[in-house]
Structure 1
Amino acid sequence: MRTTLGVEEEFVLLDPVTLTPVARAADAVTALGGPRREGGAVTQEFFPSQLEYATPVCDTAAEASEALEQFRRALRAWASDAGLLAAGVGLPYRTAHVAQVTDEERYRDIASRFGLVVPDHQLNGLHVHVGVGDRDEAIVALNRLRPWLPALLALSANSPFWRAEDTGFDSWRAIHSRRWTTHGIPPAFLDAADYDRRAGALSGIGGTVDAGTLNWVVRPSERYPTVEVRVFDAQLDGVTSTALAALVRGLVTTPPEGDVDLLPLSPELLDAAHWHAARDGLGGELVNPLDGRLRPAPEVVEALLAQARPGLVEHGDASLVAAAVARLLSDGNGATRQRRALAQGGTSGLADLVSGSADAMHGRDDGASA
């Protein structure tokens, strides 16, 4: 049985010279169709420089890809006419000295609870929803995904810079997120009732006011019959976003008899593995769920693909994902490509990369041409 998926991509609007966020998201949302845009929804995000596009519910990766590419083309065209860049990056290269949140009651309320964490929370992500039958199935999927989340982060890491400096991390966004009340990889849960009980107990503590402020990188959706994966940085191109979404669906839908033998990993080991993946990305080692030890990143990624393969084959996504992962391992994730573009072309080279040129949108390395 085919399982649906949905993809949400966040973008930040940038000055094309300074690569500093520009508060024009409201104009972009109005121009691009708003919450009832045909083929998905376009909404503002936490900061007025950010917007999000959500695809409709998709049966196939091809449907998701078409929706993402169509919106990216429209967004690039609008940004070009407005004298801006629309970037799919986990963090902007530079940030404004004063960062006011979007003037909506929910965002103002959240901001009131997090103090000086707020100005730094200019994070852009890729969120993937995979359809499930009920909330108990969502918890089964959550538990299955937990050991693979560090490897998924490494594949998607695309936020190496902060305030115009190299952080030494492939995903500085993941490190910023650790300052939220809840963060990172959630604990394992027995079932939906266990999740609801424990999540409910967090309400009112720190900045957690409801299920939407639980900042775990995977959680059951409160609005849709899906499991929502939030580990990914926003991506430079829609091809990679689609492949990552398909990979998540493959993991969720692989039948139990297709599971590889995993070593039960303690919460503290998974948390450290997530931090390690945020720093090293694909350029070093990752914790392998098969034995709990550090192994070369390609070896762990191959184990990840082996785990997902039955689900990928079922949905016709095996070739798509294999090609995208091979490209990431050979050309580098977004963080590697950003560093390469900056080294070879300075900030103008980085601007060319993140602006979504034709080469970048098809997943090819354009650092050399920047």
Structure 2
Amino acid sequence: MRTFGVEEEFLIVDPSNGSPLPLAADLLRLQDPGEPADLSTHPALAVELHQEQLEVITHPHSTLSGLSAEILSGRAYADSLARKVGARIAALATSPLAVTPHSTSNPRYDALLEKFAVVAREQLTCGCHIHVSVDSDEEGVAILDRIRSWLPPLMALSSNSPFWDGADSGYASFRTQAWNRWSSAGPTEIFGSAQAYHQRVADLAATGVVNNPDFDARLSARHPTVEIRVSDVCLDPRDTVLIAALVRGLVETAAREWKSGQAADTVSAIILRQGAWLASRWGIQGELLHPLTHKPESARNVIAALHNHVRDALVEAGDAAYVEESLQRIFADGTGARLQRQAYARHGRLADVVSDAVVVTHQEPAIYEPLTQADLSLLVPNPVV
């Protein structure tokens, strides 16, 4: 069974007015000191480019139930720290209210801000990255080549950023639009081999613009995983679990295709970019590009095709029932983008969109409960970062 882990980025918000607060460094200082990271009874926390956001990183898991439990406890743990300084954690991929972010000062981020200027200064966006284990770089690159067309539906299912700079952007995932301003962001062409992949990364580094490319999906630089990076952070934690299950199913399906000799679809990256734009614009409320034909079809049909594509892998992993139920729920209730817009329609204030988001972010666990020793025995060593 392939292991998988999740990185979720969250906004730190003022519960009284919904404004993002630059408190990430303060929250990290509030963690329990003296506990080795690899023995921690809660997910790891990390700062990001701006102090208004916090990243929560799970351990790798082999079961969906184990991953789900840590996603819930990670949100609750981060929120328990935020509460100590009068803040809350909200799973919003962009801030509904206008904000001027405060950058995190370290050599890496200072260099990014100097080089990318306004793109970096405005990049207060929160994503959800899924890591799935692979046996080798060769297998990993073969998987990257075979999942490219299936990533926009994941973007649509996770869409959770309709507001930008204090107004409705018109997009379901405006985070995607903001993120794609980075020079190496977006879909890639076929690599064909691990050697070609690493050469492409080296060639990009040689330009002097980027060191670690922001591809939609890539090999992790630090772990034996592929990292899928197209999703907004999901408002509802159940949606995060769904995305993780679908990603693991995609990775396993792609690996089997490679091992059986099935060639990768050679559709160009520019066509894939159009599919990503449709997913960003409409989420699951409009048309998406079908991953097999690259022609527009209803989101429901495209998501059904994704579901069918990974069905065997889901069944074998024991994830099929959860995915079936979750997809039905999302098409009935909507993604985070729809829930945010409904909150604004009810209240008429963006501050109340944030307040409602805090409730949904933490709707499952009432209080943080550290993982028990029994829970820890099920974890795979070395947290995904």
Same fold (TM over 0.5): yes
How far, CA to CA, are the matches of 2:12 and 2:271 in structure 1? Answer: 37
Is the Cα contact below 8 Å between 1:237 and 1:356 reproduced in 2? no
For 1:59, give the aligned amino acid.
S
2:359 counterpart SS class: coil
Change (3 A) 1:294 1:33: farther
Q: Deviations over 1:22-79 (max 9, x none)?
A: 1111121222448824343111111111111111111111111111111212222333
How far, CA to CA, are the matches of 1:194 and 1:219 in structure 2? Answer: 13
Alignment of 1:90-169 (within 5 A): 90-97=93-100, 99-169=101-171
Is the Cα contact below 8 Å between 1:11 and 1:124 reproduced in 2? yes
Partner residue of 2:88? 85
* Per-residue deviation, 1:349: 3.4
Is the Cα contact below 8 Å between 1:11 and 1:89 reproduced in 2? yes
* Per-residue deviation, 1:259: 11
User: Does 1:13 find its partner at 2:12?
Assistant: yes
Q: Provide structure 1 residue ranges, at least 5 long, that are not aligned to the other structure.
A: 363-370
Identify the structure with bigger relative contact order (alpha carbons < 8 Å, sequence gap 6+): 2
* Per-residue deviation, 1:258: 9.6
Two-structure CA RMSD over aligned residues (Å): 2.2
Of 284, 295, 300 in structure 1, the residue corresponding to residue 297 of structure 2 is 295
User: Does 1:42 find its partner at 2:45?
Assistant: yes
How far, CA to CA, are the matches of 1:135 and 1:33 in structure 2? Answer: 36
Q: Provide structure 2 residue ranges, at least 5 long, that are not aligned to the other structure.
A: 366-385
Partner residue of 1:366? none
* Per-residue deviation, 1:348: 4.6
How far, CA to CA, are the matches of 2:261 and 2:336 in structure 1? Answer: 29
Partner residue of 2:236? 237
User: Does 1:56 find its partner at 2:59?
Assistant: yes
Of 74, 78, 99 in structure 2, the residue corresponding to residue 75 of structure 1 is 78
Change (3 A) 1:11 1:67: same
Partner residue of 1:284? 286
Q: Which moved more, 1:19-28 or 1:167-176?
A: 19-28
2:297 counterpart SS class: strand
Is the Cα contact below 8 Å between 2:161 and 2:172 reproduced in 1? yes
For 1:267, give the aligned amino acid.
A
Change (3 A) 1:176 1:225: same
2:83 counterpart SS class: helix
Change (3 A) 1:262 1:225: closer
How far, CA to CA, are the matches of 1:165 and 1:122 in structure 2? Answer: 15
User: Does 1:178 find its partner at 2:177?
Assistant: no
TM-score for both structures, normalised by structure 2:
0.87
For 1:24, give the aligned amino acid.
L
Change (3 A) 1:41 1:279: same
Paired residues in the alignment total 357
Change (3 A) 1:22 1:258: farther
Change (3 A) 1:268 1:51: same
Q: Deviations over 1:319-343 (max 9, x none)?
A: 1111112111111111111111111
1:9 counterpart SS class: strand
Is the Cα contact below 8 Å between 1:3 and 1:130 reproduced in 2? yes
Moved over 4 A (4+): 257-264, 357-362
Q: Which moved more, 1:237-246 or 1:31-40?
A: 31-40
